[in-house]
């Protein structure tokens, strides 16, 4: 499964990238705002840092304007994936941009029907939002499973990019279901390394080692 990092913070991306934990990056208007950086400048810096897809989101809501913004964003680097919302206009923009050979990430997906439409419009990635569905007492992971079944039934090549990841358990379950990609904040990805029994075991080893009075270096 591919790991995309959901942030526009360069230092956080660089740290994970050094460990080989970054297959791509996703950004959105909220993350750009949080970074305090110019969208074109920070996106270019991210694209220079990682070789995988970097999602940059349009802010227009009408198809022709989305297409124009998407083309502008795609000029930043070859690894840009233009991010469009799952609206009817977004699907129109997806069809045009994907037809031009550009990667398109269709975001804010909350139903299997929406995911089916995005695949037929030529989306490179579909981004179902797990956490936001869980917030309203719906099963976000069930949506991932439903999309996986539909895409496999008909051989769609659109990759399932599980988004709105809130916990490490979300990542585990997405991997079991067969999501192609997860995108998560750096803190959630780093939390995958944590386990209380690991901490307890290490503390025991260190206490016993101290009793030996030995040193390795």
What residues act catalytically? Answer: 83
How far apart (Å, rounded) are the C-alpha atoms in residues 48 and 173?
A: 31
What is the sign, positive or negative, of the torsion defined by CA atoms of 178, 158, 116, 109?
positive
Determine phi and psi for 24, rounding to 5 degrees. Answer: 175, 180
Among 134, 111, 107, 123, which residue's Cα sits nearest to residue 31? 107
Q: Is 215 exposed, middle or buried (0-12, 13-18, 19+ CB in 10 A)?
A: exposed
Among 173, 146, 22, which residue's Cα sits nearest to residue 12? 22
Place of tokens 């959105």: 28
Q: Are 184 and 5 in contact (CB under 8 A)?
A: yes
Q: Are 123 and 115 in contact (CB under 8 A)?
A: no
**Both structure tokens of 116:** 């089916």
Q: Are 83 and 58 in contact (CB under 8 A)?
A: yes
């Amino acid at each position: 499964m591919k790991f995309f990092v959901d942030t526009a913070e360069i230092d956080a991306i660089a740290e994970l990238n050094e460990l080989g934990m970054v297959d791509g990056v996703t950004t959105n208007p909220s993350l750009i705002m949080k970074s305090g950086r110019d969208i074109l400048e920070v996106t270019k810096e991210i694209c220079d840092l990682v070789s995988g897809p970097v999602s940059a989101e349009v802010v227009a809501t009408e198809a022709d304007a989305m297409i124009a913004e998407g083309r502008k964003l795609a000029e930043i680097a070859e690894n840009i994936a233009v991010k469009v919302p799952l609206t009817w206009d977004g699907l129109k923009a997806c069809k045009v941009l994907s037809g031009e050979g550009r990667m398109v990430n269709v975001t804010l997906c909350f139903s299997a029907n929406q995911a089916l439409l995005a695949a037929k419009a030529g989306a490179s990635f579909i981004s179902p939002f797990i956490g936001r569905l869980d917030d309203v007492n719906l099963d976000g992971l069930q949506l991932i499973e439903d999309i996986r079944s539909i895409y496999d039934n008909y051989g769609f090549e659109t990759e399932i990019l599980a988004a709105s990841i809130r916990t490490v358990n979300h990542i585990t379950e997405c991997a079991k279901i067969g999501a192609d990609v997860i995108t998560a904040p750096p803190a959630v990805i780093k939390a995958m390394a944590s386990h209380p029994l690991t901490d307890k075991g290490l503390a025991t080893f260190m206490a016993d080692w101290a009793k030996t009075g030995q040193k390795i270096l």
